[in-house]
């Protein structure tokens, strides 16, 4: 499978690492002092739905430009519908 990197062009899937679904994650800013806050945090991190269909995921171009990408793909067919850069790649010094 090829992924259209906005910086490197079409690249093989083996060059990328997926970092999971692109959804808001709760922070531990308020502390995890209560059982309810710990349970809510654990549920958000470990108990995710896995429906078939469209997903937005964070991918890292590890063997290329070292950029984070936001990829929209269909989990039923593995078709990639959209690839967006999350920010410009860091320039080597």
Residue 67, Cβ neighbours under 10 Å: how many? Answer: 20
> Would you state the pLDDT for residue 88?
59
Domain ranges, residue 5: 1-23+53-93
> Would you state the pLDDT for residue 23?
77
Q: Is residue 34 domain-resident?
A: no
Count structural domains, the chain.
1
Q: Is residue 71 domain-resident?
A: yes
Q: Is residue 68 domain-resident?
A: yes
- Where residue 67 sits, what CATH number does that domain have? 3.30.2270.10
- Per-residue confidence of the chain (93 residues) as pLDDT tens digits? 899 999 999 999 999 999 888 877 666 666 778 888 888 888 877 887 777 999 999 999 999 999 999 999 998 998 999 999 987 556 543
pTM score of the predicted model:
0.72
> Would you state the pLDDT for residue 34?
83
Measured CA to CA, the distance from residue 42 to residue 16 in angstroms comes to: 27
Cβ atoms 19, 57 nearer than 8 A: yes
């Amino acid at each position: 499978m090829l992924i259209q990197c906005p910086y490197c062009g079409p690249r093989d899937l083996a060059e990328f690492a997926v970092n999971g679904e692109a959804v808001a994650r709760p922070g531990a800013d308020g502390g995890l002092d209560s059982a309810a806050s710990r349970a809510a945090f654990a549920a958000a991190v470990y108990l995710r739905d896995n429906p078939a269909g469209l997903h937005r995921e964070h991918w890292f171009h590890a063997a290329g430009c070292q950029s984070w990408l936001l990829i929209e793909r269909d989990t039923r067919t593995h078709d990639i519908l959209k690839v967006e850069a999350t920010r410009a790649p860091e320039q080597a010094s």
